[in-house]
Amino acid sequence: MSEKSTKFAGVDEQIEKVDTVQDPHSQIEELSGIEATAASKAAWLISITVSLGGLLFGYDTGYISAVLVTIGTSLGHELSSSEQELVTSLTSGGALVGAVFAGLMADKYGRKLPIWLACIVFVIGTVLQTAAYHLPQFAVGRFVVGLGVGSAAMIVPLYISELAPAKYRGRMVAFNNMSVTFGQFLASSIGAGFAQVGNPETSQAWRATVGIGAAPAILLAGLLFLCPESPRQLVSHGKVDEAETVLMRIYPTSTHEQRRAKIASIEISISEATQTMVDDSIIKTLGRIFTNAATGRAVLTACIIMAISQLSEQLGFNTLMYYSATLFKIVGFNNATAVAITVSATNFVFSFVNLVIVDKFGRRRILLVTIAGMVVCLVIAAVSFAYIPIDRHTLEVQSDTVGWPGIVVIVTIICFVACYSSGVATIAWIGTELIPMEVRAVGTMLNTVTCWSTNIIIASTFLSMMKGISPSGAFGFYSAICFIGWVFVFFCFPEAKGMPLEAIREVFAHGFGVGYARKWQKENKAFAKMNTQQSFAH
């Protein structure tokens, strides 16, 4: 017997019990019977706890705009527009690097260690910013915070997707994104409050806005001691007894046989790659992604949905927000801070909507509806901007009486944010469920790298595009990109609602698996509908 086989002593007999089944997919379905048992409150508490990592992400992206408005000469001089762009984009650069390092560590050292390190790094970056009196120190702090944000953004959805019961997986990962939007809303509100403290020219209240961001990182680092390691990660390292203990904690009404069967299903799904996954270099793991067609399609699908999410946010959401303060003022809203709070609140509320519906209606249906809504919003914005007098050299509105086009754009902002937040913004992170176990950490790293690299590229070019082809032309271009994303979802994005992770890996063995996943949903209604038969009380 091989070394790998000895690692799973006590599990092989579970596989032998189903050796008459025709294929591994059928074995996995039979061995995943534990999913039919009630999940414990502990599963939700663990998910809520680690979702504090999303709060770090959201708070950081939410406070910087308020800080830049109130920072004045606190760093020695008034920041130029290029310096403001620098300190804003440095976090994205740090997040890109942090995601890569977290991906390199996640398979070898587990899911929890990178989250701890992310918390430590985030606190260090926050302290550097809070205590900064010169631009270089503040800039370094922004980059260091980015390292923590990128690590947490990469690991937390991965950890939750591996720990969550199939029927709640979408909701639990969606809760992480809701934490991101709550962090943005919280930061906007706190930033608005401290903006009213003291003389705007000399006030140091912005330091409190930044410093408060360390609190959730410290809290997460402490609570993480109460959270278990991912059972799939434990099985991959041969720690079967520990994996069973975690499963018993998540499924308290399950039997010993059901837990062992679940472990067996995990073992089947990674039987060809468990040992190499632990020992392989990053180059070999990347090679497995690019040389295995099914694995490549799974990772590609997750990355494209993430790219659509970021293109939508950077091209549509941020560009709309570029004009929102001016347009809100023109139609009677004189407080620019209230604009940010209004949009942040919309973002938060509709991320909660996704949390409620994602496991009921499925990822695919929600994407098709909400991306279509985003396309419509961007087309309406393109038409409306054609009637708003804008100087293409300065991108400034040239009139104080915009009238109906301004009102239409404001309504478009709210509707676009609602569609974005209730759809692709959250489902892009749920996409980690599509990535096979043997490359999940590295595949999720590529997914997160896609997030931050797209973010950096678009943020540094969209103003030039606005000036080059006019806002109306830019919005027309943006709507075309969203439409291409809708076409991709229609033809290439399979529905994974209610499927065990070990079964999802079979989907991409059949092309992009849209038809295969649809057939699975029909043939496994008990599995696919479990989420509607259970309540949040479990």
**Higher local confidence (pLDDT), 201 or 254:** 254
**Higher local confidence (pLDDT), 266 or 531:** 266
- Residues above pLDDT 70, as percent of the chain: 77
Alpha carbons 188 and 341: distance in angstroms, whole number? 6
Beta-bridge partners for 391 = 396
- Per-residue pLDDT at 317 exceeds 90: no
Alpha carbons 102 and 452: distance in angstroms, whole number? 14
Range ranked top by mean pLDDT from 112-121, 225-234, 248-257, 429-438: 112-121
**Element (H or E) spanning 396, and its range?**
strand 396-397
Contact status, residue 231 vs residue 259, Cβ threshold 8 Å:
no
Q: How confident is the model at residue 531 (pLDDT cuts 50, 70, 90)?
A: very low
Alpha carbons 118 and 130: distance in angstroms, whole number? 18
* The pairing of beta strand 396-397 with beta strand 390-391: antiparallel
Instruction: Please write the tens of the pLDDT for every residue from 503-517.
Output: 787 899 889 989 999
Contact status, residue 214 vs residue 127, Cβ threshold 8 Å:
yes
- Within 196-239, residue ranges assigned H as helices are 206-211, 214-223, 231-236
Instruction: Please write the tens of the pLDDT for every residue from 126-180.
Output: 999 999 999 999 999 999 999 999 898 888 888 888 888 877 888 888 888 888 8
DSSP state of 331: T
Q: Average of pLDDT values for 1-12?
A: 43
Q: What is the CATH number of domain 294-538?
A: 1.20.1250.20
- Closest listed residue to residue 375, CA positions, set 386, 383, 363, 387: 383
Residues 6+ apart with CB under 8 A from 7: 238, 240, 274
- Closest listed residue to residue 288, CA positions, set 126, 441, 110, 173: 441
Q: How confident is the model at residue 198 (pLDDT cuts 50, 70, 90)?
A: low
Is there a common fold for 38-227 and 294-538?
A: yes
Average pLDDT, the chain: 79
Instruction: Please write the tens of the pLDDT for every residue from 342-359.
Output: 777 888 889 889 888 888
**Element (H or E) spanning 391, and its range?**
strand 390-391
Beta-bridge partners for 104 = none
pTM for the model: 0.73
**Higher local confidence (pLDDT), 22 or 296:** 296
SS3 string, 408-430, reads: HHHHHHHHHHHHHHHCHHHHHHH
Instruction: Please write the tens of the pLDDT for every residue from 67-126.
Output: 877 787 888 888 876 787 778 778 888 888 998 888 788 777 888 899 999 999 999 999
Contact status, residue 57 vs residue 45, Cβ threshold 8 Å:
no
- Closest listed residue to residue 85, CA positions, set 512, 456, 426: 456
Query: What confidence score (pLDDT) does residue 325 get?
Result: 54
For 133, other C-beta atoms within 10 Å of its C-beta total: 10
Alpha carbons 314 and 335: distance in angstroms, whole number? 24
- Per-residue pLDDT at 440 exceeds 90: no
Quote the crossing angle between the two packed helices 52-70 and 112-130, to the nearest 10°: 20
Q: Average of pLDDT values for 17-23?
A: 41
Q: How confident is the model at residue 31 (pLDDT cuts 50, 70, 90)?
A: low
Q: Average of pLDDT values for 4-24?
A: 42
Contact status, residue 344 vs residue 181, Cβ threshold 8 Å:
yes
Q: Average of pLDDT values for 464-490?
A: 84
On whether the 38-227 domain is CATH 3.50.50.60, my answer is no
Contact status, residue 109 vs residue 118, Cβ threshold 8 Å:
no
Residues 287/514/163/419 CA torsion (nearest 10 deg): 110
- Cα 461 to chain centroid distance, Å, stands at 23
Per-domain boundaries in the chain: 38-227, 294-538
Contact status, residue 304 vs residue 491, Cβ threshold 8 Å:
no
Query: What confidence score (pLDDT) does residue 9 get?
Result: 45
- Closest listed residue to residue 34, CA positions, set 266, 270, 240: 266
Q: Average of pLDDT values for 278-287?
A: 63
Q: Average of pLDDT values for 190-219?
A: 81
Alpha carbons 116 and 225: distance in angstroms, whole number? 10
Query: What confidence score (pLDDT) does residue 16 get?
Result: 43
Q: How confident is the model at residue 18 (pLDDT cuts 50, 70, 90)?
A: very low
Query: What confidence score (pLDDT) does residue 338 get?
Result: 64
**Element (H or E) spanning 390, and its range?**
strand 390-391
**DSSP states along 285-313:** HHHHHHH-HHHHHHHHHHHHHHHHHHHII
- Closest listed residue to residue 384, CA positions, set 411, 418, 346: 411
Contact status, residue 167 vs residue 534, Cβ threshold 8 Å:
yes
**Element (H or E) spanning 397, and its range?**
strand 396-397
Written as one letter, the residue type at 146 is: G
